[in-house]
């Protein structure tokens, strides 16, 4: 059996989980999410625990077993606690702001970068250079952070760009005159 897949999922008291065929839904203080189970897996709800089982011993079924359990666990954690990613902007004149439902970033280009915020995501900016992304869906929070970072990834010579909080950028030495 999959080591991850066979672990039962404990459901917190403030989360309501329902299993309907191949769909598992969870509703909590941070929102409501639904996961469609892979075809070789099923979910059983027993009291305050949820167990994922699989049919067959094929390699794909084993992989889907662990994947399904991880997706459901991330969904339950997301609706109860939520997920957060932090970005930092470094560079002279580089800044960001949130206006209406979009993030405006000035990253040294001739035009401002406007990124529409997807529904279910909350973006806040502190000190014009610290961006915080909050949401219940782990995949969506990570994707938004990745897309914002992709506009100007940190470069190795001066260290300018958008980076994850705490990310270490290996610096290179520039050219020297002989």
Question: What tens digit of pLDDT does each residue of 108-155 get?
Answer: 999 999 999 999 999 999 999 999 999 999 999 999 999 999 999 999
**Same structural domain, 120 and 158:** yes
Range of the domain at 65: 9-80
**Same structural domain, 107 and 159:** yes
Query: What is the tally of structural domains in the chain?
Result: 2
CB atoms within 10 A of CB 80: 17
Check residue 174 and give its pLDDT. 86
Residue 1 forms part of a structural domain:
no
Residue pair 59/53 in contact (Cβ under 8 Å)? The answer is no
| CB proximity list for 150: less than 8 A, separation 6 or greater | none
Q: Could you say which of 80, 101, 125 is where a domain stops?
A: 80
Section 57-73 average pLDDT: 89
Would you call 21 exposed, middle or buried from its count of C-beta atoms within 10 A (0-12, 13-18, 19+)?
Answer: exposed
Section 65-78 average pLDDT: 93
Q: Could you say which of 80, 109, 129 is where a domain stops?
A: 80
Element spanning 75, H or E: helix 59-80
- Parallel/antiparallel/unpaired status of strands 102-106 and 113-116: antiparallel
């Amino acid at each position: 059996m999959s080591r991850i897949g066979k672990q039962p999922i404990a459901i917190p008291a403030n989360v309501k989980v329902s299993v309907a065929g191949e769909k598992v839904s969870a509703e909590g203080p941070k929102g409501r999410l639904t996961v469609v189970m892979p075809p070789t897996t099923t979910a059983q709800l027993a009291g305050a625990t949820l167990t994922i089982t699989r049919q067959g011993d094929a390699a794909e079924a084993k992989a889907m077993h662990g994947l399904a359990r991880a997706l459901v666990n991330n969904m339950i954690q997301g609706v109860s606690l939520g997920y957060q990613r932090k970005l930092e902007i470094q560079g002279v004149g580089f800044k960001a702001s949130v206006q209406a439902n979009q993030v405006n970033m000035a990253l040294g280009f001739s035009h401002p970068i406007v990124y529409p915020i997807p529904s279910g995501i909350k973006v806040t900016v502190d000190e014009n250079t610290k961006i915080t992304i909050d949401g219940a869906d782990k995949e969506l929070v990570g994707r938004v952070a990745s897309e914002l970072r992709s506009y100007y990834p940190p470069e190795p010579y001066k260290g300018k760009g958008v980076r994850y909080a705490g990310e270490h950028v290996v610096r290179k030495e520039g050219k020297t005159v002989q």
